[in-house]
């Protein structure tokens, strides 16, 4: 398994799989399969995939620790960038075919409709993460600051779930399911941090007792 995850072919295969939702949309568009309201169809499909890719990205750390597969980290950046690409498509569908690039109208909509406001916030929060996703930016910011910044992906996922919850009219099962998954991932991260601090505390207490002049 470790070797499979380290293979560049596996990474290429995952990349292609991540393109399948987009390919399916293009295929439908070419064959008139987008239904009576194509804009709505694309908005819903891309919106769903943004949330799924955010969840895949957030699941990498728990999975690599639980399954003892550190190589999974190689896939996190790619999945995060796919979440960003799908949200760009989602946003473009909104500003273009839906709002006809009427910037004043779009801004009014962002201010007026709460589900648009929170979706927009989630999108804006992802922009610096996409920009700083390269190794060069990790070096420039330093590991700790980079990690702090990239925790914003949790806020984006929370905004995405609220956005979905607020926009559905009756059946709230799906947004609630996404919300539960995001909550579990968040709680796992919190639990992991608490355990790590507890494990480090006795070790630190031990080093505190070492006199300063002993090196
Ligand atoms: C991280 C950010 C975002 C996520 C995770 C997200 C996710 C979603 C999801 C899951 C849906 C519903 C899909 C379905 O019904 O199956 C949706 C719909 C929609 N989203 Fe987003 N979205 C985000 C950002 C945005 C932004 C920035 C805008 C526009 C400013 C936007 C506008 C819309 C619209 C107009 C719909 C369709 C609403 C309707 O049909 O009533 N979203 N989005």
Give tens-digit pLDDT for 82-127.
999 999 999 999 999 999 999 999 999 999 999 999 999 999 999 9
206 or 7: which leads in pLDDT: 7
Please state, rounded to an integer, the average pLDDT across all residues of the chain.
Answer: 92
For residue 44, the ligand 1 atom closest to its alpha carbon is: 13
Residue 13 has a pLDDT of 97
Are the C-beta atoms of 53 and 86 separated by less than 8 Å? yes
Task: Return the best residue to mutate from 167, 170, 173, 177 for the ligand 1 pocket (most ligand atoms within 8 A of CB).
Answer: 167
pLDDT, tens digit (0-9, with 9 covering 90-100), for 200-212: 887 666 555 444 3
Give me the pLDDT at residue 197, please: 87
Angle between helices 152-167 and 173-208 (to 10 degrees): 160
The stretch 126-144 carries a mean pLDDT of: 95
| Separation CA 202–CA 37 (nearest Å) | 61
Share of the chain above pLDDT 90, in %: 87
Q: How many residues does the chain have?
A: 215
State phi, psi for 82 to the nearest 5 degrees. Answer: -70, -40
Confirm if 54 and 181 have CB atoms less than 8 A apart.
Answer: no
**Stretch among 12-21, 31-40, 62-71, 204-213 having the lowest mean pLDDT:** 204-213
What residues flank ligand 1, with Cβ below 6 Å?
A: 40, 43-44, 47-48, 50-51, 87, 90-91, 94, 116, 119-120, 122-123, 156, 159-160, 163-164, 167
The SS3 assignment for 214 reads coil
Q: ∠ CA(148), CA(152), CA(157), 5° rounding?
A: 150
pLDDT at 213: 37
> If you compute the radius of gyration of the chain from its CA atoms, what whole number of angstroms results?
21
Q: What is the pLDDT of residues 46-86, one digit of tens each?
A: 999 999 999 999 999 999 999 999 999 999 999 999 999 99
> Which ranges in 74-172 belong to alpha helices (H)?
76-93, 103-112, 114-131, 135-141, 143-150, 152-167
Q: Are 5 and 69 in contact (CB under 8 A)?
A: yes
CA of 139 to the centre of ligand 1 (A): 34
Q: What is the C-alpha to C-alpha distance for residues 13 and 171, in angstroms, rounded to an integer? A: 35
Query: How much is the pLDDT for 112?
Result: 95
Percent of the chain having pLDDT more than 70?
A: 94
Q: How confident is the model at residue 199 (pLDDT cuts 50, 70, 90)?
A: confident
What confidence score (pLDDT) does residue 17 get?
A: 98
Residues 159/118, Cβ–Cβ less than 8 Å: yes
């Amino acid at each position: 398994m470790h070797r499979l995850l380290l293979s560049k072919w596996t990474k290429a295969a995952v990349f292609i799989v991540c393109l399948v939702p987009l390919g399916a949309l293009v295929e439908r568009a070419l064959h008139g399969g987008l239904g009576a309201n194509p804009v709505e169809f694309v908005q819903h499909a891309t919106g769903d995939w943004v949330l799924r890719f955010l969840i895949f990205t957030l699941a990498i750390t728990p999975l690599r620790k639980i399954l003892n597969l550190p190589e999974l980290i190689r896939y996190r950046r790619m999945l995060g960038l796919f979440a960003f690409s799908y949200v760009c498509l989602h946003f473009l569908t909104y500003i273009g075919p839906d709002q006809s690039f009427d910037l004043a109208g779009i801004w009014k909509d962002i201010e007026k409709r709460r589900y648009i406001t929170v979706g927009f916030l989630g999108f804006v929060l992802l922009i610096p993460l996409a920009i700083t996703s390269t190794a060069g930016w990790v070096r420039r910011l330093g590991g700790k600051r980079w990690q702090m910044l990239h925790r914003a992906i949790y806020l984006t996922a929370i905004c995405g779930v609220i956005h979905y919850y607020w926009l559905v009219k009756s059946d709230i099962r799906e947004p609630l399911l996404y919300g539960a998954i995001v909550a579990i991932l968040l709680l796992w991260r919190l639990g992991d941090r608490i355990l790590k601090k507890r494990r480090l505390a006795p070790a630190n207490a031990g080093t505190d007792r070492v006199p300063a002049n002993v090196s």
